């Protein structure tokens, strides 16, 4: 008897605080996913980092042995300056001296990466004025970009998602949920093909040092706005039509970002995902809802009463003119 009462009380407690328990599981799952990613990245990348460090150490030691007139301190000072310039997108290599980072097309590409929060990091402002302007430009431009993307996606999703789903639901009588799931899968496949697979094949041809996996990696990192900056197109030696290439990449990033948002919004409108998201949301109390409804009713009633009072005042204001004109009209009719 006591066990059944305890079990029922535990069930009631879980049901009453179901949203809080789901949110706690969500936080725990997210932390475990972070730890899982750290473990995998560390186990995969740490051996390669160790090999690279050993290779650079041997190369440095060999260089000092071949150039005995150069001290290790002088070499390190030179390398530190070169690496510092490389962090700002400036290279001392002869094959990269002809590529300017701040011509118009490169600046346009940089502005698009800033506003889309991709931020590859291969080119950064050098001057204090440029850094200050980048802050002001981003503070205004990033919300402006979000507003622009939201407006564009809302208009596109009507013709791409809602109307096709509604057409198949009404015209052919299919279940709306099934049609929405199939439509989301087809739209996702088309987006992956047009903005990941095909561009990756094109980049693997245009970029000499990129294979298909690296090109696909760049497309995903860019359109997901991660922007690590380890792969940036149009930075190769003697890149043909570099200005036009940069403008094309800028258009590709904007169009791809819009396509990604359309697909995400399409999946978010699925009934199953809506139910799943509600598990982690805070539910409003019924009393709060009733208070909001009562406040809304009071506001609407007060607005209606104010409108009625204003109409009565207008009628009273118009009555003297009507009364003053009626006797004269009656006298004229009697004289006639």
* CA dist., res. 113 & res. 227, Å (int): 8
Phi, psi (deg, nearest 5) at residue 126: -95, -40
> Are 134 and 76 in the same domain?
no
DSSP 150-203: HHHHHHHHIIIIIHHHHHHHHHS---HHHHHHHHHHHHHHHHHIIIIIHHHHHH
User: Helices 242-268 & 198-206, crossing angle to 10 degrees?
Assistant: 160
* CA dist., res. 137 & res. 115, Å (int): 9
How many structural domains comprise the chain? 2
HEC profile of 259-306: HHHHHHHHHHCCHHHHHHHHCCCCCCCHHHHHHHHHHHHHHHHHHHHH
Q: Would you state the pLDDT for residue 313?
A: 52
Q: Would you state the pLDDT for residue 303?
A: 46
> Are 64 and 199 in the same domain?
no
Q: Would you state the pLDDT for residue 237?
A: 67
> Are 118 and 79 in the same domain?
no
Determine, yes or no, domain membership for 314.
no
* CA dist., res. 105 & res. 250, Å (int): 9
CB distance 262 to 153 below 8 Å: yes
* CA dist., res. 62 & res. 49, Å (int): 20
Q: Mean pLDDT per segment of 10 residues, for the chain of length 336 residues?
A: 58 71 90 95 92 90 85 85 76 63 86 88 83 94 94 94 92 90 95 96 90 94 88 76 87 94 92 83 60 48 48 48 40 38
Q: Would you state the pLDDT for residue 217?
A: 95
Q: Would you state the pLDDT for residue 208?
A: 83
* CA dist., res. 54 & res. 47, Å (int): 11
Q: Would you state the pLDDT for residue 165?
A: 92
> Are 218 and 116 in the same domain?
yes
Residue that finishes a domain, picked among 280, 296, 320: 280
Residue 100: CB partners within 8 Å, gap ≥ 6? Answer: 106
> Are 223 and 153 in the same domain?
yes
> Are 68 and 108 in the same domain?
no
> Are 115 and 57 in the same domain?
no
Helix, coil or strand: residue 117: coil
* CA dist., res. 275 & res. 273, Å (int): 5
Determine, yes or no, domain membership for 300.
no
- Check: pTM over 0.75? Answer yes or no: no
Q: Would you state the pLDDT for residue 96?
A: 55
> Are 135 and 179 in the same domain?
yes
> Are 145 and 38 in the same domain?
no
Per the structure, the complete domain to which residue 148 belongs is given by 98-280
> Are 229 and 129 in the same domain?
yes
Q: Would you state the pLDDT for residue 34?
A: 94
Q: Which of 168, 173, 183 is nearest to 265 (CA)?
A: 183
């Amino acid at each position: 008897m006591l066990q059944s009462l305890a079990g029922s009380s535990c069930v009631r407690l879980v049901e009453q605080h179901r949203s809080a328990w789901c949110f706690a599981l969500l936080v725990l799952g997210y932390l475990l996913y972070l730890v899982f990613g750290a473990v995998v990245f560390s186990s995969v990348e740490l051996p390669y980092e160790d090999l690279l460090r050993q290779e650079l150490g041997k190369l440095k030691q060999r260089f000092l042995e071949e150039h005995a007139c150069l001290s290790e301190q002088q070499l390190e000072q030179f390398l530190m300056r070169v690496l510092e310039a490389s962090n700002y997108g400036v290279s001392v290599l002869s094959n990269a001296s002809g590529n300017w980072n701040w011509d118009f097309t490169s600046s346009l590409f940089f502005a698009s990466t800033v506003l889309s929060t991709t931020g590859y990091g291969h080119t950064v402002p050098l001057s204090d004025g440029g850094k200050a302007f980048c802050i002001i430009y981003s503070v205004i431009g990033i919300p402006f970009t979000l507003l622009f993307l939201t407006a564009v996606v809302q208009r596109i999703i009507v013709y791409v998602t809602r109307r096709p789903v509604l057409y198949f639901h009404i015209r052919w009588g299919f279940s709306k949920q099934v049609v929405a799931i199939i439509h989301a899968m087809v739209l996702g496949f088309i987006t992956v093909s047009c903005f990941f697979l095909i561009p990756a094949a094109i980049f693997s041809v245009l970029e000499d040092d990129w294979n298909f996996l690296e090109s696909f990696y760049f497309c995903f990192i860019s359109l997901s706005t991660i922007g690590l900056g380890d792969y940036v197109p149009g930075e190769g030696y003697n890149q043909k039509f570099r200005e036009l290439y940069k403008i094309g990449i800028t258009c590709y990033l904007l169009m791809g970002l819009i396509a990604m948002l359309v697909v995400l919004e399409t999946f978010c409108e699925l009934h199953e995902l809506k139910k799943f998201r509600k598990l982690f949301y805070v539910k409003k109390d019924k009393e709060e809802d009733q208070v909001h409804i009562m406040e809304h009713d009071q506001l609407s009633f007060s607005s209606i009463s104010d409108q009625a009072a204003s109409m009565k005042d207008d009628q009273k204001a118009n009555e003297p003119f009507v009364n003053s004109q009626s006797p004269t009209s009656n006298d004229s009719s009697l004289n006639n």
